[in-house]
């Protein structure tokens, strides 16, 4: 195989794990990230220390790489689209466009025939009041752009909840009010599509969030085989519609009757797929590298059951205990300073594989 170079826009832990997987397959990686000594640059071949939309840096990336990918969904679409004139960019910038704006994303997912929560665009306090009235006073208000880990959100549980001034409090930016989904559990599916159109899906994970941040992903999820098949079908539809290349993470709410409501999609490797590095022969990171570099997709079979837990902030203090465990893979992100809410690493604990879904 010819050694080639993969560009990665974004230098966080996802870029770090992509660079590690790339190196194992003889690829060099160049990371574009303004933060010096970022988690990805510590393991990549080269860092270009500049903004994601810096024209000179993007030109250098295009000239030095055979393919460019990204590790976060808020890469400026104009930067990604501009790069395509000179170098292959995967996943396609259209996927970024669909994922960056919750309103566009919901419409796209619905157009794929996949249900989401009901929603209204909210561009003023009056819009908010009207949307809440339509949903009986309940709903989840989210900024359309740049929200992550539950940031830029407000939950309305009843008509008694204060509405006054909330539109301004959340920044007065374009928002969306989603109807409140009374779900039983949350799952996600990690799927990949190759340049040849082949699609492979890992088993869905069941996700538990704490303070809006992913806490654990457990596989298998407590869902029926029909629900798992539904998640797979939705992923296949989204990937095929976008002509996607790479790994995607799609989150769903599971209703009491087992049906699925799609919440959001991330056009990149996903925190709820970190378990794959411990419980599958081919991790989501290698799968993404394989997909964007035109290699055949790898095997997504799971050899063990597992629970992945994020190490957030001071969770890192119990690292010595995790390191003693014989059933646990520890993965740290090279961040020297621990702060509340900051993802420092994750651990995946394996158990024997249980029989397949009921």
Nearest distance in Å: CB 73, ligand AMP: 12
Classify residue 78 by burial, with Cβ atoms within 10 Å: 0-12, 13-18, 19+: exposed
34's tokens: 């303004």
Compute the least distance from the CB of residue 34 to ligand AMP, in Å: 25
Q: Is 87 in the site for ligand AMP (CB under 6 A)?
A: no
Q: Which stretch binds ligand AMP (CB under 6 A): 24-32, 56-64, 122-130, 173-181?
A: 173-181
Q: Which residue's CB is nearer to ligand AMP, number 43 or number 181? A: 181
Structure tokens at 298: 């790898």
Nearer to ligand AMP, 47 or 138 (CB): 138
Q: Rounded CA gap, 275 and 259, in Å? A: 24
Q: Quick one: which segment of 84-92, 178-186, 318-326, 330-338 binds ligand AMP (CB under 6 A)?
A: 178-186
Select from 31, 117, 128, 177 the one that contacts ligand AMP (CB under 6 A): 117
Among residues 263, 271, 276, 349, which is the contact residue for ligand AMP, using CB under 6 A? 263
Sole binder of ligand AMP in the list 150, 174, 294, 334 (CB under 6 A): 150
**Segment contacting ligand AMP (CB under 6 A): 53-61, 179-187, 238-246, 265-273?**
179-187
- At closest approach, how far in Å is the CB of 201 from ligand AMP? 20
Assigned token pair, 278: 């411990």
* Of 134, 151, 113, 102, the residue nearest 263 (C-alpha): 102
Taking the complex as a whole, the smallest distance from the CB of residue 251 to ligand AMP amounts, in Å, to: 6
Residue 268, burial from CB neighbour count under 10 angstroms (0-12, 13-18, 19+): buried
- CA atoms of 192 and 239, how far apart (whole Å): 8
Instruction: Give the C-alpha separation, 68 to 103, whole Å.
Output: 27
Query: How many Å apart are CA 62 and CA 210, to the nearest integer?
Result: 39
Q: Of 310, 308, 301, whose CA–CA distance to 353 is shortest?
A: 301
Position 140 contacts ligand AMP (CB under 6 A): yes
Smallest gap from Cβ 209 to ligand AMP, in A, equals 5
Restricted to residues 196-235, the positions that interact with ligand AMP (CB under 6 A) are 209, 212
180 binds ligand AMP (CB under 6 A): yes
Cβ contact 339:293 at 8 Å: no
Find all residues with CB under 8 Å of 356, minimum gap 6, and list them: 220, 225
Q: Which residues in the 293-332 window bind ligand AMP by CB under 6 A?
A: none
Q: At its nearest, how many Å lie between ligand AMP and the CB of residue 299?
A: 29
Choosing from 33, 186, 203, 315, the residue that interacts with ligand AMP (CB under 6 A) is 186
The DSSP secondary structure of 76-122, one letter per residue, reads -HHHHHHHTTTSEESS-HHHHHHHHSHHHHHHHHHHTT--B--EEEE
Record the tokens describing residue 252, joined without a space. 């769903």
* x/- map, 41-80, ligand AMP, by CB under 6 A: ----------------------------------------
Shortest distance in whole angstroms from residue 91 CB to ligand AMP: 19
Measuring CA to CA, which residue among 31, 35, 105 is closest to residue 70?
31
Q: Does 156 contact ligand AMP by CB under 6 A? A: no
Nearest residue (CB) to ligand AMP, 48 versus 214? 214
Residues lying near ligand AMP in the complex (CB under 6 A) = 117, 140, 147, 150, 178, 180-181, 186, 209, 212, 251, 263-264
């Amino acid at each position: 195989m010819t050694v080639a170079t993969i560009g990665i826009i974004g230098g966080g832990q996802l870029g770090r794990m992509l660079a590690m997987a790339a190196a194992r397959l003889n690829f060099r990686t160049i990371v574009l990230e303004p933060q010096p000594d970022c988690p990805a640059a510590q393991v990549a071949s080269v860092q270009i220390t500049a903004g994601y939309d810096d024209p000179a840096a993007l030109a250098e990336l295009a000239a030095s790489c055979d393919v460019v990918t990204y590790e976060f969904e808020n890469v400026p679409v104009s930067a990604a689209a501009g790069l395509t004139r000179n170098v292959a960019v995967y996943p396609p910038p259209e996927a970024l466009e669909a994922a960056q704006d919750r309103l566009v994303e919901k419409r796209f997912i619905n157009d794929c025939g996949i249900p989401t929560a009901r929603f209204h665009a909210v561009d003023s306090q009056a819009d908010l009041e009207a949307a809440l009235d339509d949903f009986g006073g309940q709903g989840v208000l989210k900024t359309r752009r740049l929200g992550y880990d539950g940031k830029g959100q407000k939950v309305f549980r009843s008509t008694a909840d204060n509405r006054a001034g909330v539109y301004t409090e959340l920044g007065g930016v374009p928002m969306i009010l989603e109807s409140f989904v009374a779900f039983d559990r949350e799952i996600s599916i990690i799927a990949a599509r190759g340049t040849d159109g082949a699609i492979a899906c890992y088993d869905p994970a069941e996700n538990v969030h704490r303070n809006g941040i992913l806490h654990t992903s457990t596989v298998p999820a407590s869902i029926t085989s029909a629900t798992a098949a539904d998640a797979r079908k939705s992923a296949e539809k989204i990937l095929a519609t976008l002509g996607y290349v790479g790994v995607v993470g799609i989150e769903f709410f599971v209703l009491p009757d087992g049906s699925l409501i799609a919440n959001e999609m991330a056009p990149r490797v996903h925190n709820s797929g970190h378990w794959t590095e411990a419980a599958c022969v081919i991790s989501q990171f290698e799968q993404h590298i394989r997909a964007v570099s035109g290699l055949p997709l790898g095997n997504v079979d799971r050899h063990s059951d597992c629970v992945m837990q994020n190490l957030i902030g001071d969770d890192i203090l119990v690292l010595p205990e995790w390191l003693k465990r014989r059933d646990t893979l520890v993965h740290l992100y090279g961040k020297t300073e621990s702060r509340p809410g900051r993802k420092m690493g994750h651990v995946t604990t394996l158990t024997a594989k249980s029989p397949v879904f009921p």
